Amino acid sequence: MPERVILTLNSGSSSLKFALFTASLQPKRLWSGEIDRIGLTGGHFQLSDARSTVVVDESGRLDSHEAALTRLLMAIASLPGSLDLVAVGHRVVHGGPECDCPKDVTPALLARLRRLAHLAPLHMPPNLAGIDAVLATRPEVPQVACFDTSFHHDLPSLARMTALPRAYAKDGIRRYGFHGLSYEYIMEALRDDGVDVDAERIIVAHLGNGASMAAIRNGNPVETSMGFSTIAGLPMGTRTGDVDPGILLFLMQEKGMSSDEMATLLYEQSGLLGMSGLSRNMEDLLDSPKEAAAETVAYFCYQARLHLARLTGALGGLDRVVFTGGIGENSDEIRSRICVGLGYLGVNIDSVANKSGWTKISKPDSRVIVEARATDEEKMIARHVAVKFLAKPMPQASEVEA
């Protein structure tokens, strides 16, 4: 009897992260990996098993996401055992105001998402390319879009608003929030560990190449550092974070920058990369002896500290901080430098626990619990797909083809 599996895809502009899970309410990761440099020279495909043992490690150019997915499906077909791919789940960064939960991929949904692509230009085109690639290679397999914005869909009305004239809200101009799949996973992990999240005021800091924070009270998000777009809030790998709108007007009016040039500046040339002139990678900057690198790290931590403190205003206090994402989970130095000076909020880091990689990194007598946790957006996607299909039996591939 073939084992029924769910494939999760997280498509980037030149990459395809993937994982295979058992099709169950508690999905078990079986295989995972990444194909990078799609459409570029030096392409690389790596596939690992559940124990992180690499079983495929090859180089070679793949010209499109469709070609990358075709190669991935060939690899899946050659895996030991018999696997029946019953559904594919996608991380989709922006769902717009209508998408408050995962949705079946339909022509109508795809058309709506294509209209939203300009709101997250780094993410939406490759997200949609992943969906198109599955349609081209395995059109019989059901697909589900899982949105980063869904977690924040029911933010309080004041948190959704902007100070633009109200008429613009009819065009979908509102604050959305992102990294929702990561926040969902962290909240579930806290519940699984016995934390009464409904009784706590929590800030989750998802810090990576993309970075944001969310304030959560009574188990629900009440505020976030990101807003209408994925360039708002904290400085990121190549994105500005918050910037005075007057600067943008100056660049357009006085420097003659076009909208396309402005988008490139804000999304691709700023943040850690632009400030340092060296790298978008925090680890590179921490290792660099250059003053610009040190100043960039200091600026990132300063802004993160300001955003964290700001979010306590929406919560009315603070009981727990959770760091996650590539930087938040792995960099004890960044966690320490963000938290320094927040003692007035009850945040006190235990340096030994922080450097040792423990989950709880606050001092025993700290009023606020501080943690570092791994997130797992792929597992969250697999859970959403499994739950969605439990209401109706997952079709066997042979049944669909028939």
Question: Tens digit of pLDDT for each residue in 272-307?
Answer: 999 999 999 999 999 999 999 999 999 999 999 999
Q: What is the CA radius of gyration of the chain?
A: 21
Q: What is the pLDDT of residue 398?
A: 40
* SS3 readout for the chain: CCEEEEEEEEECCCEEEEEEEECCCCCCEEEEEEEECCCCCCCEEEEEECCCCEEEEEECCCCCHHHHHHHHHHHHHCCCCCEEEEEEEEEECCCCCCCCCCEECCHHHHHHHHHHHHHCCCCHHHHHHHHHHHHHHCCCCCEEEEECCHHHCCCCHHHHCCCCCHHHHHHCCCCCCCCHHHHHHHHHHHHHCCCCHHHCEEEEEEECCCEEEEEEECCEEEEECCCCCCCCCCCCCCCCCCCCHHHHHHHHHCCCCCHHHHHHHHHHCCHHHHHHCCCCCHHHHHHCCCHHHHHHHHHHHHHHHHHHHHHHHHHCCCCEEEEEHHHHHHCHHHHHHHHCCCHHHCCCECHHHHHHCCCECECCCCCCEEEECCCCHHHHHHHHHHHHHHCCCCCCHHHHHC
Rounded to whole angstroms, the Cα distance separating 107 from 396 reads 22
Q: What is the pLDDT of residue 401?
A: 35
Choose, from 104, 132, 148, 284, the residue flagged as catalytic. 148
State residue 264's pLDDT score: 95
pLDDT tens track of the chain, all 402 residues?
789 999 999 887 678 899 999 999 999 999 999 998 888 888 899 999 999 999 999 999 998 888 998 999 889 888 988 899 999 999 999 999 888 899 999 999 999 999 988 888 888 988 999 999 999 999 999 999 999 999 999 999 999 999 999 999 988 899 999 999 999 999 999 999 999 999 999 999 999 989 999 999 999 999 999 999 999 999 999 999 999 999 999 999 999 999 999 999 999 999 999 999 999 999 999 999 999 999 999 999 999 999 999 999 999 999 999 999 999 999 999 999 999 999 999 999 999 999 999 999 999 999 999 999 999 999 999 999 999 876 555 455 444 333
**205-214: pLDDT as tens digits:** 999 989 999 9
Q: Look up the pTM and report it.
A: 0.92
Structure tokens given for 63: 């010209």
- Longest Cα–Cα distance in the chain: 68
The domain spans of the chain are: 3-147, 165-372
Is 148 in the active site? yes
Per-residue pLDDT, 391: 58
CATH code for the domain defined by 165-372: 3.30.420.40
Which residues have a Cβ under 8 Å from the Cβ of 170 and sit 6 or more positions away?
Answer: none
The fold of the 3-147 domain, in CATH, is Nucleotidyltransferase; domain 5 (3.30.420)
